[in-house]
Chains A and B, each alone.
Chain A
Amino acid sequence: KQEVTQIPAALSVPEGENLVLNCSFTDSAIYNLQWFRQDPGKGLTSLLLIQSSQREQTSGRLNASLDKSSGRSTLYIAASQPGDSATYLCAVKRGGGYSTLTFGKGTMLLVSP
């Protein structure tokens, strides 16, 4: 059974810092990996999706990497801002099509002004 772990569970940083969130998964036979953002009381919004054949994806100040063989992914946030405060979840997809996602428990990020 696939298990996804996110470290740390919570992180507090001052504005302007660069930071890294970690995600690990036990079964390397994945189709893709996604990073989601969840604001308090809201649903999930997809940030970045990395296919199993890719090594990284970038969107603005966000960069996600994937090392499938070691079962690890990182989300790098550059020059953090208070608006980045949210919970970040990673999820792995087992196969293509309608195949389901397995989620980590998330990292709660607080960026202080």
Chain B
Amino acid sequence: NAGVTQTPKFQVLKTGQSMTLQCAQDMNHNSMYWYRQDPGMGLRLIYYSASEGTTDKGEVPNGYNVSRLNKREFSLRLESAAPSQTSVYFCAGWGGFDTDTQYFGPGTRLTVL
């Protein structure tokens, strides 16, 4: 199993550009999550999807949209990137196993100039 995968690994955008971060999992997770990690701020939840077909806002949803395309895929879209969105973005999955932990992808490092 590949686990939770994210693409791209690195991305540089100019202010105002748009992009979609992709996340896919082959672990039969029911729920999926998008976090951002910033120095001094820790990990903060952006959006999550409790199950296929549902999405909910987390702590810092402004400036982002998400799509739970199917059970395997959960994408994060920045419609008009801002320098404040420079961060490392992590996707995670939960469920489908007898353990209660979340499984994380390797992250996408995004810089907005």
List residues of A whose CB falls within 8 A of some B CB: 32, 34, 41-46, 49, 51, 89, 91, 93, 96-98, 100-101, 103-106
B45 to A, closest residue via Cβ: A100
Given contacts A104-B42, A105-B41, are A49 and B58 in contact (CB under 8 A)? Answer: no
A46 near B101 (CB under 8 angstroms)? yes
Q: How far is the CA of A106 from the CA of B43 in the complex (A)?
A: 9
Give the total of B residues in contact with A, Cβ under 8 Å. Answer: 27
Max chain A CB contacts within 10 Å: which of B4, B40, B43, B58? Answer: B43
A98 near B107 (CB under 8 angstroms)? no
B106 near A49 (CB under 8 angstroms)? no
A6 to B, closest residue via Cβ: B42
A103 near B43 (CB under 8 angstroms)? yes
Instruction: Write the nearest CB–CB distance from A87 to chain B, whole angstroms.
Output: 10
Q: Secondary structure of the A side of the interface?
A: strand
A98 near B50 (CB under 8 angstroms)? yes
24 A-B contacts (beta carbon < 8 Å): A42-B106, A43-B4, A43-B90, A43-B105, A43-B107, A44-B43, A44-B90, A44-B92, A44-B102, A44-B104, A45-B104, A46-B99, A46-B101, A46-B102, A46-B103, A49-B100, A51-B100, A89-B42, A93-B100, A97-B95, A98-B51, A100-B33, A103-B42, A103-B44
